[in-house]
Amino acid sequence: MIATDLLDWYDRHARILPWRVRPGHGRADPYRVWLSEVMLQQTTVAAVKDYFLRFTALWPTVEDLAAAEDARVMAEWAGLGYYARARNLLACARIVAARGGFPDTRDGLRALPGIGAYTSAAIAAIAFEQPETVVDGNVERVVSRLFAVPSPLPAAKPELTTLAETLTPRERPGDFAQAMMDLGATICTPRSPACGICPLIRDCDAYAAGIASDLPRKSPKAARPARSGIVWIARKGDALLLEERPASGLLGGTLAFPSAGWDGRDLPPPGPADWSEIGEVRHVFTHFSLTMRVMLGELSGRPERGRLVPLRHIDRKALPGLMRKVWDLARAEIAA
């Protein structure tokens, strides 16, 4: 009954998203499903839309993406965060292109780089109509209310997944997965859920008990630790020094200003200069907050690492979020 009611609602109210095939309009493209699911990992729909449209315009197929240059893909990904996803994206695309397509089972998908339990279930259900259960934050909230689960997150995740599995239909599992996500995103919202218009109101134990707004309960979050570091804006005439960060680790593979201290690397300045502090920037990562001292100086000799890039060629959009903040501060100082 829950699946039938929810799918009827979804047929009328499905969100229109650039990676989604509307109900009754055929099968989804595994490439577009995979790309969107990777981009959506720990990122909002609003933030992903433009990136998805740009990626699919540049690389319409997985073969096109597989043939792309690493640096170009990393530059297009800049600002979306969690840069290991972009590295895994390329690795996965090249494996899929070489094998002639995506596997159509959850186990086969999970064997690919960057595809875990959730993403493999989502692709298998949405692209290949496999009866897999897809559980993201929206689905956890819907299920916790449907069954009035008192256990707090994240400890409740296994229980919520087990309960969600009891709801997944064998027919239209992909639409059902997307319907659960849409319900959580538009009606069964974290605050002030619109219970009066919910298609599952008759089945919701939390609504019946008057506690829908109180669920899911969450354990107190630990305080986010703080880190500090230093970043150097090294000038040489009308050029600035940039370097490619190590392939693994924070901001891996991205183009950045030389820095040290915040990422476990204890490095000296990138070259001889009369360094002066021009301010600091703050940035929040998932597991820590960061304060960076920004140093500006004119190189008096050859840089010890990185490469000089003419000011007119520095593309703010190609920098990761942290380095965009550094660039904004430095650009104002350079222009003064």
Domain harbouring 106, CATH code: 1.10.340.30
Residue 244 belongs to a domain: yes
pLDDT tens, 195-252?
Answer: 999 999 999 999 999 999 999 999 988 889 999 999 999 999 999 999 999 888 889 8
Whether pTM exceeds 0.75: yes
| DSSP track, 281-319 | EEEE-SS-EEEEEEEEEEBSS--SSSEEEEGGG--GGGS
Residue 22 belongs to a domain: no
Give CA–CA dist 85/256, Å, rounded.
Answer: 18
Interhelix angle for 117-128 vs 30-40, to 10°? Answer: 150
| DSSP track, 78-131 | TTS--THHHHHHHHHHHHHHHHTS--SSHHHHHTSTT--HHHHHHHHHHHH---
pLDDT tens, 269-281?
Answer: 999 999 999 999 9
Are 215 and 276 in the same domain?
no
pLDDT at 159 (0 to 100): 97
Last residue of a domain, one of 128, 147, 176: 128
Interhelix angle for 45-58 vs 30-40, to 10°? Answer: 140
Are 231 and 331 in the same domain?
yes
Q: Could you give the residue numbers annotated as active site?
A: 37
In the numeric block, which tokens belong to residue 149?
């689960």
Distance of CA 38 to the CA centre of its chain: 7
pLDDT at 336 (0 to 100): 58
Residue 316 belongs to a domain: yes
Are 113 and 140 in the same domain?
no
Residue 90 belongs to a domain: yes
Are 71 and 90 in the same domain?
yes
Last residue of a domain, one of 72, 100, 128: 128
Please name which of 210, 178, 177, 179 lies closest in space to residue 195, comparing C-alpha atoms.
Answer: 210
| Coil, helix or strand at residue 226 | strand
How distant, in Å, are the alpha carbons of 182, 307, 312, 328 from that of 331?
42, 18, 11, 5
Residue 12 belongs to a domain: no
How distant, in Å, are the alpha carbons of 30, 202, 240, 315 from that of 303?
46, 68, 10, 21
∠ CA 185-149-189 to the nearest 5 degrees?
Answer: 15
Strand partners of residue 276: 296
Neighbours of 313 (CB within 10 A): 10
User: How many C-alpha atoms does 86 have within 13 Å on its Cβ side?
Assistant: 28
pLDDT tens, 107-157?
Answer: 999 999 999 999 999 999 999 999 999 999 999 999 999 999 999 999 999
Give CA–CA dist 98/140, Å, rounded.
Answer: 36
| DSSP track, 144-199 | HHHTT--SPBTTTHHHHHHHHHTT--SSSHHHHHHHHHHHHHHTS-SSS--GGG-T
Are 243 and 291 in the same domain?
yes
Are 147 and 65 in the same domain?
no
Strand partners of residue 239: 236, 310
Average pLDDT over residues 289-300: 96
Give CA–CA dist 160/147, Å, rounded.
Answer: 9
Residue 2 belongs to a domain: no
Average pLDDT over residues 90-118: 96
Are 141 and 193 in the same domain?
yes
Domain of residue 304, residue span:
226-335
Residue 11 belongs to a domain: no
Last residue of a domain, one of 164, 186, 221: 221
Are residues 232 and 243 in contact, defined by beta-carbon separation less than 8 angstroms? no
% of the chain exceeding 70 in pLDDT: 100
Residue 17 belongs to a domain: no
Are residues 88 and 110 in contact, defined by beta-carbon separation less than 8 angstroms? no
Is 149 buried (19+), middle (13-18) or exposed (0-12) by CB count in 10 A?
buried
Give CA–CA dist 146/204, Å, rounded.
Answer: 4
Q: How many domains does one find in the chain? A: 3
Amino acid at 114: G
Domain harbouring 137, CATH code: 1.10.1670.10
DSSP assignment letter at 201: G
Average pLDDT over residues 90-95: 97
Are 138 and 118 in the same domain?
no
Are 244 and 190 in the same domain?
no
Domain harbouring 279, CATH code: 3.90.79.10
